[in-house]
A and B are shown apart, each in its own frame.
Chain A
């Protein structure tokens, strides 16, 4: 079945470092792709999304580009802050199977040190 693979964490960075969290997906066709963020003790919040190839989603300084040729949707941020410490989940939609639920990766914990 469809799956989403994320790099394992934790990822530990110093403040103002560059962030990349890798994500690859397996759904056929053109699924929508999402990044969610989960801060400690909270539910998941939608961070950004992209709905077609070469789309770039962006929000709060984070960006991710929908790459059909490599089936990837890597999350990037140029300069992380301590407040970005959280767990990040990549997810894909699956429109062609009729499945209404998104498929999530296992999550990547980011720790940013001052």
Chain B
């Protein structure tokens, strides 16, 4: 089975801090994704990466950046955390075969609170 591991289940940070969320997958997937999940809004794509050092903006990239130095690891960075970034963050991965039609495999999520 595909395993996507997010480094923290719960995280509490303060406004203005730089925050790192880490995600690792063990299936050699080319694609990795970061979403945030908020009540009533479903999943919204922040960034995704289709290869090492490659990234593309999703639907809500403002206030975030990402890093993919190794194929198995994809990091989400909140440059200067704000209270409106309090949310559940979900990482996912997928193979590049049949681009756009592959299922995504999700981690358990990180519930981030910004005080």
- CA of A36 to CA of B31, assembled, Å: 18
Query: A107–B100 contact, CB under 8 A?
Result: no
- From B50, B102, B108, residue with most partner A Cβ within 10 Å: B102
For chain A, the count of residues having a C-beta within 8 Å of the partner chain is 27
- CA of A88 to CA of B50, assembled, Å: 27
CB distance from B46 to the nearest CB of A (A): 10
If the complex has contacts A51-B101, A98-B100, are A43 and B108 also in contact, measured as CB distance less than 8 A?
A: yes
Residues of B within 8 A of A36 (CB): 106
Asked if B104 lies at the interface with its beta carbon under 8 angstroms from chain A, I say yes
CB distance from B40 to the nearest CB of A (A): 7
Query: B104–A95 contact, CB under 8 A?
Result: no
Query: B96–A100 contact, CB under 8 A?
Result: yes
CB distance from B30 to the nearest CB of A (A): 9
Asked if A97 lies at the interface with its beta carbon under 8 angstroms from chain B, I say yes
Asked if A69 lies at the interface with its beta carbon under 8 angstroms from chain B, I say no
- CA of A45 to CA of B108, assembled, Å: 9
Asked if A32 lies at the interface with its beta carbon under 8 angstroms from chain B, I say yes
Name A45-94 residues within 8 Å CB distance of B.
Answer: 45-46, 49, 51, 89, 93-94
Query: A45–B106 contact, CB under 8 A?
Result: yes
Query: B42–A94 contact, CB under 8 A?
Result: no
The 8 closest A-B pairs by CB, nearest first: A106-B42, A43-B106, A93-B101, A95-B100, A32-B101, A44-B106, A104-B43, A43-B108
